[in-house]
Chains A and B, each alone.
Chain A
Amino acid sequence: MSTTTEPTGTGVWLHAVVAEGPADRTGITGVAGTPVRTVTGPGLAAVVADAPLTEYGEEALRRNLEDLGWLERAARAHHAVVDALSRTGAVVPARLATVYRDDDRVAAMLAERHDELVGTLTRLTGRQEWGVKGYVVPGGTPRVTEPTGVGGAGAAYLRRRRAQLTAREEGQRIAADAAAAVHTALAGYAVSARRHAPQDRRLSGAPTTMVLNGAYLVERAGLDGFSALAGELADRHPELRLELTGPWPPYSFVAEPTAEPAWA
């Protein structure tokens, strides 16, 4: 499978960065099936795993990331490491497929990004990410009212069709407004919040359209309040079905909040 440009040898897959310190990571397996290792820098530890370049080199990754089976396996293996680390303290997860040539390059990155990484770890300490997804509830929005009027079957059809379209637009607006209201309320409680793009139904398998795909950084101690608030919001917005997922490692809050995405 190798080509003349395909490098051979072993790369270093970065799973996450944590604070340096004694930690038992035995039994944590990295992306390629070997135990994770640690590359240390001042006050920081990068948790990495060896990754053969025939599978994890740039060319190979381009190919493999298009393979859903491979992508799922890699995403789950990466997540398993990050999730395990998040149970023992603050963690800065690396994005999927962050691969270095060798440990020296990882150490150089730790030195270069030291202040930012330490700052991020401090900001994430004692906090967890929770996801709240909102789906449209069929029938939770206004029904099409049958307009009456004069005219034949053709005119009646046109009136009905116009009313259906209006109701559909109205329903979309109501669902979007409800999603925005839920997000604003949850964001007000959370330390930090962001909205991911709604998931396509073909991917999520959800029976109805998603209008909210929010992520919220919440203090561990504040979880009960957050979950109670989600319950209240669900009662207040019967036009949405809310789904809470978590706790997640703080994937969505590694970067400092920047410009609001188009979904916000």
Chain B
Amino acid sequence: MGVTVLAPSSVDDPSAFRQVALVDLLDRVLATGVVVTGDITLAIADIDLIRISLRALVASVGALAPPEPALGPAFPPVPAETP
């Protein structure tokens, strides 16, 4: 398999611009970049921020797609057969 190269943004070649995938962005702006805690958002702890945001994501997509089976690397479930 090859490697797909995506350019989240490119000033050099605007035609190469592709919008950053929201999930990739949220991996970065929510789970990382914890430099400092703002004094207004002091009570929104890291975990809180991630949890409430993910709840919004899951609630939005939950109705659209079947749940992914099991945790972690999951392969298509073995079809339920009857002998």
Residues of A within 8 A of B78 (CB): 161, 164-165, 168
Given contacts A65-B56, A172-B75, A204-B21, contact A242 B39 (CB under 8 A): no
Q: A-B pairs with CB below 8 Å: how many?
A: 202
- Pick the most buried of B5, B11, B40, B64: most chain A CB atoms within 10 A of its CB: B40
Q: For the complex, what is the distance from the CA of A58 to the CA of B37, rounded to whole Å?
A: 12
Residue of B nearest to A231 (CB): B3
Given contacts A230-B3, A240-B1, A241-B1, contact A53 B56 (CB under 8 A): no
Interface string of B18-30 (1 = CB under 8 A from A): 0011111111111
Within A120-156, the residues touching B (CB, 8 Å) are 120, 129, 131, 136-138, 140-141, 153-154
Residues of B within 8 A of A215 (CB): 28
B38 an interface residue at 8 Å Cβ cutoff? yes
Contact of A105 among B1, B27, B39 (CB under 8 A): B39
Interface string of A98-131 (1 = CB under 8 A from B): 1111000100010001000100100000000101
Q: Are A68 and B72 in contact (CB under 8 A)?
A: no
B41 an interface residue at 8 Å Cβ cutoff? yes
A211 an interface residue at 8 Å Cβ cutoff? yes
Q: Are B25 and A95 in contact (CB under 8 A)?
A: no
Residue of B nearest to A171 (CB): B75
Residues of A within 8 A of B25 (CB): 75-76, 79
Q: Are B57 and A68 in contact (CB under 8 A)?
A: yes
Q: Are B29 and A255 in contact (CB under 8 A)?
A: no
Q: Are A131 and B24 in contact (CB under 8 A)?
A: yes
Q: Are A68 and B5 in contact (CB under 8 A)?
A: no
Q: Are B40 and A244 in contact (CB under 8 A)?
A: no
A34 an interface residue at 8 Å Cβ cutoff? no
Q: For the complex, what is the distance from the CA of A243 to the CA of B4, rounded to whole Å?
A: 5
Q: Are B36 and A255 in contact (CB under 8 A)?
A: no
Q: Are A157 and B39 in contact (CB under 8 A)?
A: no
Give chain B nearest CB distance to A39 CB in angstroms.
13
How many A residues, CB 8 Å from partner? 88
Q: For the complex, what is the distance from the CA of A243 to the CA of B21, rounded to whole Å?
A: 12
A227 an interface residue at 8 Å Cβ cutoff? yes
Q: Are B60 and A94 in contact (CB under 8 A)?
A: no
A11 an interface residue at 8 Å Cβ cutoff? yes
Residue of B nearest to A203 (CB): B23
Q: Are A251 and B28 in contact (CB under 8 A)?
A: yes
Contact of A252 among B5, B28, B57, B62 (CB under 8 A): B28
Interface string of A186-214 (1 = CB under 8 A from B): 00000000001111111110000101010
Residues of B within 8 A of A196 (CB): 27, 31
B47 an interface residue at 8 Å Cβ cutoff? no
Q: For the complex, what is the distance from the CA of A161 to the CA of B77, rounded to whole Å?
A: 11
Give chain B nearest CB distance to A40 CB in angstroms.
16
12 contacts between A and B (CB under 8 A): A11-B38, A58-B41, A68-B56, A75-B22, A87-B11, A97-B44, A97-B49, A100-B38, A197-B27, A241-B1, A242-B1, A255-B35
Other than the known A93-B33, A247-B8, what 10 A-B pairs have Cβ atoms closer than 8 Å?
A53-B40, A75-B25, A76-B22, A176-B73, A199-B27, A200-B68, A203-B23, A209-B73, A251-B29, A252-B32
